Structure 1
Amino acid sequence: MINFKKRLKTLKERRQGPQEKAYIKFVESSGVCDAEQAGFDGRIREDYELLGEPAGIKYLLGAMKPIDPVYTQKSIEQGEFVGGMIVQTLEELGQRVGFLLHGPLACDVHIKKLACSDVVLIGKLSSQQQRYEKEPYDLMAFSTAFRLILEKVLRGMFFSQSLTFNEEGGAHFRDGKAARSTLIVPAVCYEEYSYSSKFGASVSLYDKNVSHLVFCNPQKLLKLIEARDALYFGNLRRVIRLLFNVVADMPIYKKTRLACLFRCELISIAYSMSVELDTFPGNSPGLLERVRAHLQFICDSDKFRESVVCLDGGRKIFSAHEKIVALEMLRAEFRDLSSAIYQEIAPGSVLYKPDVMFNTFIM
C-alpha cells in the first residue's frame, strides 16, 4: 500500500522546503524557543492541501501543480545571470559564444522550490575556423578545445567548494547564499547554421565520459512542449510533473534503476501521449488513468516503443535493455498509484474500473 501521508510530507518539502527552516524563522521572529510545540509551521497551505479529499487525491493534485512562479523566476534569473557572466568572460578571451536555458526549469515542469538551472554554453565555430590544413575543421576537436577553455574559465570564476565537474563534461555550480544550483553544459555548433531552422539552434553536446558528440536542439523541446501543452489545457506539463514527483518518491533501489531514463526522456514519454492528453483539467484521476494506460501500451507494443524519440534530438529512447526495464518499473509504479487512488474513490470495489476514474472530477 502507498503511504500517501508520507508522500504528502515529502511533496511539501520539495515544494516549500523543510519544516525545520520555518521553525528557525519562527524562533528568530517570536522568541519562542520550542517552535515545534507551539505548532507553528510557517509554510503556506496550498489549495490542494485545503481540499476535503482523501490523501491520495491531494497527492495527485499537488504532484501535478506548478511551483510558485516567484521561486521559478528567481531560479531562471540566476541561470541567466551565471550564463551571461560566463559568456562575457569567454568573449573577452576572443571566443564566439552564446547560451540558452534548457531542462525542466526552462519548461516550467520542475518540482522543487530551489530548482537547478540548466545553462547550455554554446561555442560557435566560424567559417574562418573551418579550415585546417585544407581540411574541414573537426567539430569534435573544436568541442574538446572549447570544453577545456570553459573549464579553465569556470575554475577562475568560482570557488572550488561551489564548483564540481561531472563525468559527462558538464559543471555544477551551487550558490550557497541563495541555495540554488546551476548545471553548465558545454555545446558547440557551426555559427552560420545556428539559427537556420524554425526551432533555432541545433547544437552538439560533448560527452566526456564516452568521448563523442550528442546532437540536440534545446529550443525545439521547449517550443514543442509549449505548443502541445497549450493545445491540451496544460495537461502535458501536469503529466510531466507527475512523472517527476512519482520518481522522486520511489525508494532508493527503484530510483537507482530508473536513473538511466533522463529527464528529457521522461518529458518525451509524456509528450508521446498526444491526443490522450485531451482530458478536462478537473478530471485529474482520469488523466492519471490515461498515463497508466499509455505506459502499459508502450510496454506492450514493440513498434510504438521503437517510435518514441527524445524531443531535443530525435534519438530513440528505448534503444537499451536497461531503459526497457526502467519503463516496466515506471509502469508498475503508476499501476499501483492508480489502484490506490481508485480505492479512495470507490472503497471496497474489487475490480479496477477506468470509467470510475474518468467520471471523477475535483474542482
Structure 2
Amino acid sequence: MARNIEEKISSLQTRRKGADRYAVLAADGVALESYQRKRYIPEAWEQRAGNKPYTRYALGAMQEVDPDYTRISMETAQRVANQLGKRVGGFNLEFRLQGSVPLNVHIRGVSDVDVLTLIDQQFFSYDPNGIKSSTYYPSSDTSLDQLTQLRREEESALKSAFPMATVDTSGSKAIKISGGSLARSVDVVPSHWYDHADYQASGALHDRGVIILDRKANKTVTNYPFKHIKLVSDRDVFTAGGLKKAIRLCKNAKADSDRDIALPSFDIAATMFHADQAALRMGAAYELAILAETQRHLDYLYSHPDEAARLYVPDGTRRIFDTDAKISALLRLSCEMDELFKAVVAEHDLFGLASSNERARQILNEARVQ
C-alpha cells in the first residue's frame, strides 16, 4: 500500500465507473451515455465513513459494480455471439458466459467478458463411466480437430463481422476482439461440451464440463466453469453476500497495489472460498468483519504453507497453490491486506485497545459504519 489512500480511492472510483478504459467505453453510444450520466453521481460507499478514508476504501472495494455496466458487458458479449451464430458455417453453436462477470465478482465498470462458443449436439465428449454412457455414440473425430477447425472459422467470422475492431488471434485459448463499435473487449473461447458422469446422473448444468482448445500446446483442456459459479454463488448466499465481497476486496487490493501480485482472479475466488463462513456472514451486520476475516485467512494460509498447499479450487480439479509463484503472490496479497487492515483498525481503535491481531479483529467485528 505504498500509494496514499486518496490515490487508491481515486483509482477505485475510476475503475468502477469505467474511466480507466474510456476509449473502449466511447465505442458504444449507449455505454457512453450511461457513463456520462453517472460519472459525477457518487456511489453510496463514497459518502460513508466520514473522516475515515481507509474504511471508505475498504467498503468501496467490496461492492459490486453498477448493474448497468454489467448489463452492457453481457449485451456486448451477446452481440458478438449473435454474429458468430450467423457467420460460422459447419457448426451449430451454443453460447455461455464464464468468469468474473457472470459470477458478479468483477471489479471494473468496463470489464472484459468471456464467451464460451460451444459446439451444440454435433460433437461432444462423455465420461464412459457415467450411467448413460451406453446411450452415446463415439465419433471418429477428435476434440483437437473439431476445436481447431472451429477456431479457424471463428477468427475469420469475427474479422468479417467487425471490420473496424481489433481481432487478436495470438492467445492460446481465446480470440480477443475489442474496439470498433464494441463497448467491451470480448474473449471468444472455442469449446464443446463434456458430459461428466455426474452430469449424466443429474442433468444439471453445473455438473457439465467443457473442453477448450489450448492452441499453443496443441492439446485440449477440460474445465467446469458452471460448477465453479454455482459453488461460489451458493456459499455466497450462505455467507449473506460476504464471500463475494471478500473476493472483490482482494481483487481491488491487488489492482491498487504497488506489489506484483500474480494471482489470477479465479485463484483469488478459490482462496476466499475456504475462508471461515461464519466470520464472513457477520458482514451482513458488521461490514468490516469481512475485512477482518479476509486478513486473518490470508495471513493464516501464508503462515501455514502446508495447509495452503492442500487447498483445492471449488470444482476440485486442481490445487490452488500449485506453483511457487502463487505462494509468493499469496504473501504479497497477504501483506497488502495486513496494511489495509491495520489502517482501518487505527481509524476505529479510539482508545488504543488493539494490542493483538485478535483484538483488532474484534474491534472491526463490532464496528458500525455510518
Matched, 1:9 2:15: no
1:270 and 1:191, CA in 2 relative to 1: closer, same or farther beyond 3 A? closer
Following superposition of structure 1 onto structure 2, how do residues 281-360 of structure 1 map, counting pairs within 5 Å? 281-312=284-315, 314-346=317-349, 349=352, 351-352=355-356, 353-360=360-367
Q: Which moved more, 1:59-68 or 1:109-118?
A: 109-118
How far apart, in 1, do the equivalents of 2:322 and 2:195 lie?
31
How far apart, in 2, do the equivalents of 1:162 and 1:74 lie?
19
Select which of 112, 118, 134 maps to 1:116.
112
Following superposition of structure 1 onto structure 2, how do residues 1-363 of structure 1 map, counting pairs within 5 Å? 3-18=4-19, 43-51=40-48, 52-90=50-88, 93-124=89-120, 125=123, 130-132=138-140, 137-159=141-163, 161-177=165-181, 179-190=183-194, 196=200, 197=202, 198=204, 199-251=206-258, 254-255=259-260, 258-259=261-262, 261-275=263-277, 276-312=279-315, 314-346=317-349, 349=352, 351-352=355-356, 353-363=360-370
The structural deviation recorded for 1:303 is 4.2
1:95 and 1:42, CA in 2 relative to 1: closer, same or farther beyond 3 A? closer
Over residues 16-51 of structure 1, what are the superposed CA-to-partner deviations in whole Å (9 max), with x where a residue is unaligned?
244998xxx9xxxxxxxxxxxxxxx95111222212
Letter in 1 for 2:67: P
Over residues 316-344 of structure 1, what are the superposed CA-to-partner deviations in whole Å (9 max), with x where a residue is unaligned?
12111111111111111111111111122
Structure 1 gap ranges (5+)? 26-40
Partner of 2:33: none
Q: Which moved more, 1:279-288 or 1:2-11?
A: 279-288
Structure 2 gap ranges (5+)? 27-37, 126-135
CA contact (8 A) 2:21 2:110 kept: no
Over residues 22-81 of structure 1, what are the superposed CA-to-partner deviations in whole Å (9 max), with x where a residue is unaligned?
xxx9xxxxxxxxxxxxxxx95111222212241011101111111111221121122122
1:144 and 1:110, CA in 2 relative to 1: closer, same or farther beyond 3 A? same
CA contact (8 A) 1:120 1:186 kept: yes
How far apart, in 2, do the equivalents of 1:96 and 1:201 lie?
18
The structural deviation recorded for 1:347 is 5.5
Letter in 1 for 2:289: G
Higher relative contact order (CA 8 A, sep 6+): 2
CA contact (8 A) 2:98 2:114 kept: yes
CA contact (8 A) 1:194 1:202 kept: no
CA contact (8 A) 1:215 1:313 kept: no
How far apart, in 2, do the equivalents of 1:337 and 1:2 lie?
12
CA contact (8 A) 1:84 1:99 kept: no
How far apart, in 1, do the equivalents of 2:252 and 2:182 lie?
23
The share of aligned pairs that are identical, in percent, is: 25
> Paired residues, what number?
334
CA contact (8 A) 2:173 2:189 kept: yes
How far apart, in 1, do the equivalents of 2:4 and 2:114 lie?
33
How far apart, in 1, do the equivalents of 2:196 and 2:291 lie?
44
Partner of 2:34: none
Letter in 1 for 2:233: E
1:282 and 1:166, CA in 2 relative to 1: closer, same or farther beyond 3 A? farther
> TM-score w.r.t. structure 2 length?
0.81
The structural deviation recorded for 1:203 is 0.7
The structural deviation recorded for 1:348 is 7.7
Could you say what the CA RMSD is over the residues aligned between the two structures, in angstroms?
Answer: 2.9
How far apart, in 2, do the equivalents of 1:75 and 1:11 lie?
19
Over residues 92-120 of structure 1, what are the superposed CA-to-partner deviations in whole Å (9 max), with x where a residue is unaligned?
x1213211011111111111111222111
